[in-house]
Amino acid sequence: MHRIPFFSYPALFTAQEREFQAVFSDVGRRGAFIKQQDLYDFEKSLAAFLGVSHALGVGNATDGLEVALLAAGIRPNDEVILSSHTMLATAVAVHFAGATPVPVECGPDHLIDPAAAEAAVTSRTRAIMPTQLNGRTCEMDALGRIAAKHSLLIVEDAAQALGSRYKGRCAGSFGVAAAISFYPAKVLGCLGDGGAVVTDDANVYARAFELCNFGRNMAGEVVRWGFNSRLDNMHAAMLLFQLKQYDRVMCRRRQLASLYTESLKDVAEVVLPPAPDADPDHFDIYQNYEIEAKRRDALKEHLQKCGIGTLIQWGGQAIHHLKALGFTQNLPYTDRLFTRMLMLPMNMSLDDGDVHYVSDSIRSFFGHKL
């Protein structure tokens, strides 16, 4: 049987094993493990790639989101609006920054619905945190107008969207600050946890630096309470190596998405993500390939029997479903989406034949000709 895991973690390493070993040997022989030149070079290269002024490597993207919020000026009892279709980490960061996460509906693109975001604004609302989900950037013009109208900050959860663009601007460059993830399964991933905070604001960068460095400023003076969150130098060196070939990786993922589009476009029972170049405003990098499907659970079981790994994002629970955390929102559109959504394999270990096999297996389930 043809077997296609949802994500092959060993392949992340073995596909570039010789190159990674060279990086590890170089860093190890220099003893360059914490806050060394590789990290500073990566931060500079990442900022240049995104078109922002500052990037700060941190221990993970959840830390990055909390740091971005605190550095942007989020205060206790503020409210932060976010999409309910996001990882728990988004809401966790808001909570531990002292604010209240307010989940709202997503739209047909699976991203935050600007109209729902505006409807949730109250006198306590301080920020909107759009999740740039699945490698696609939200409708940032609409969110920007809402933020300006109500004097709100935008802090982006760009964990899944490094290189995604909206009207030529990169995800992570729209708000006062943003966080990016380098978790192994991300398009740019390391061999463990890692993340970054990015910003164009020098004051926000300085506060973020202090927060992640036990409250020490760049002169080494303790000026505030802080904690310890830093991107390990070994990870930074590996990420810097990969960033140099990132354009090729994005191109390949868009090719895979095009293959899925061509193979499944006539299957009425399935709703596909927007195809590459379907909308000139959006440049998607396809961190995930999230479809909607009738009889989703039965389809998932069928694909499993075919040796194909799939995933329902967030374990099938949106943020507002987490009643133990006190959420009471009623979000019917998101509820329905969570009965239909399914992520197909989308990663650099796939070849064209793998995509055709997945597509043919979906077609056969719904009774379409192969």
Sheet of 125-129, strands arranged across: 54-58, 195-199, 177-181, 153-157, 125-129, 79-83, 100-104
Q: How confident is the model at residue 14 (pLDDT cuts 50, 70, 90)?
A: very high
- Are 316 and 341 in contact by the 8 Å Cβ rule? The answer is no
Provide the sign of the torsion angle of the four alpha carbons 7, 10, 13, 16, taken in this order. negative
- On average, the pLDDT of the chain sits at 97
Does pLDDT of 1 surpass 90? no
The residue written with tokens 């029972």 in the block is: 269
| Tokens found for residue 294 | 């009738």
| Residue 108: predicted pLDDT | 97
The three-state secondary structure class of 163 is coil
Q: How confident is the model at residue 369 (pLDDT cuts 50, 70, 90)?
A: confident
Q: Mind listing the pLDDT tens digit for each residue in 43-99?
A: 999 999 999 999 999 999 999 999 999 999 999 999 999 999 999 999 999 999 999
Q: Mind listing the pLDDT tens digit for each residue in 233-292?
A: 999 999 999 999 999 999 999 999 999 999 999 999 999 999 998 999 999 999 999 999
The three-state secondary structure class of 139 is coil
- Are 165 and 171 in contact by the 8 Å Cβ rule? The answer is yes
- Smallest CA-to-CA distance from 208 within 77, 66, 103 is with 66
| Tokens found for residue 262 | 């061509």
For the chain, domains (ranges, CATH) are 10-243 (3.40.640.10), 247-365 (3.90.1150.10)
Does pLDDT of 222 surpass 90? yes
- Smallest CA-to-CA distance from 105 within 340, 337, 272 is with 337
Range 285-313 average pLDDT: 98
Q: Residues 6 or more apart from 288 whose CB is under 8 A from it? A: 133, 134, 135, 160, 313, 343, 346
